[in-house]
Amino acid sequence: MRKEKRSKWRFEVKGFIKQLLSVGGENSEEAAKLLVEIYNMLSYACHYYVFTSENPISVLKYRQADLLGEVLGKLFYSGYSEETIKVATYLTLDSNVDRETLHGELFYVLLEALKTPDTKMMALKYCEEFPKKYYDYQSTKQFFKIGKSRSYFSSIDYRHMEHSNHAAEMYLLIKFALQEHEEGIEYFVKNTDEIDEEVVLYRLLLLLWDDELNNLWIREYEKALAAGVEPREMLQREYLKRKNSDV
């Protein structure tokens, strides 16, 4: 981008998004591809100095989860296919987040966009595939390695580990939506890339926090305890609360 245009980038990008979202008919597929590229760049810029702003999505007056929802809506405008579900799953899993967004918010956006059991089942396949195809996927991005990292953990290998864990969490959430809790838990524990078993337990129990999953929460806690894992104090207090209440 030319120097004289850098201060105006947000107006141009917001205009592009608005125009592409309004495209319908036979051109909607091409509009979706362009929106995916814009979202990818903005997501990348959340961790790398590409634009003049450190928080490029909010500068456009969007919440990141809402913007992703708009992009996925356009992606699925003409229906679902293996390719669009792959793009949507990879896009969500590979997102960097801004300061106002948690990765989990984006996972629920994708989950909401997958309206049927069949589409959820297809997304499971791409959650499994994503960690294996990660480096190839990054090489397809023209802007990859542009800009200086904002993060201390800037290596691609660290990012691969982090986003592979996102794939394990997304897999679990989809399995839960399909009422296949046991398979989701088993996959999450097996595929979360973390040496410390207590950290894996902590992440799992956060995902089981819902009151309706209380029996599973208690079971997984007790299973880890029997295996020699020492839960952090916060989890110990929560266990006593759940065990001695009608949650």
Write the pLDDT tens digit of every residue in 116-148.
999 999 999 999 999 999 989 888 875 555 545
Within a domain: residue 183? no
Angle at 97 between CA 55 and CA 63, to 5 degrees: 65
- Mean pLDDT of the region 27-38: 94
**pLDDT tens for each residue of 184-199:** 999 999 999 988 999 9
Within a domain: residue 45? yes
Contacts 24+ apart (CB under 8 A), 10-13: 10/51, 10/53, 10/56, 10/59, 10/60, 13/38, 13/42, 13/60
Q: How far apart are the first and last CA of the chain?
A: 56
Give the pLDDT score at 143: 55
- Mean pLDDT of the region 56-80: 93
In which band, very low, low, confident or very high, does the pLDDT at 59 lie, cut at 50, 70 and 90?
Answer: confident
| CA separation for the pair 45, 60 (Å, rounded) | 13
* Residue 233 or residue 157, greater confidence: 233
Give the pLDDT score at 202: 97
Within a domain: residue 197? no
Within a domain: residue 199? no
Within a domain: residue 247? no
Count: domains in the chain = 1
* Single pTM value for the model: 0.89
Say which residue the tokens 């959820």 belong to: 120
Within a domain: residue 208? no
Within a domain: residue 141? yes
Say which residue the tokens 């399995």 belong to: 175
* CB 51 within 8 Å of CB 2: no
Give the pLDDT score at 246: 57
pLDDT score of 1 more than 70 = no
Q: Which domain holds residue 136?
A: 7-148
Within a domain: residue 168? no
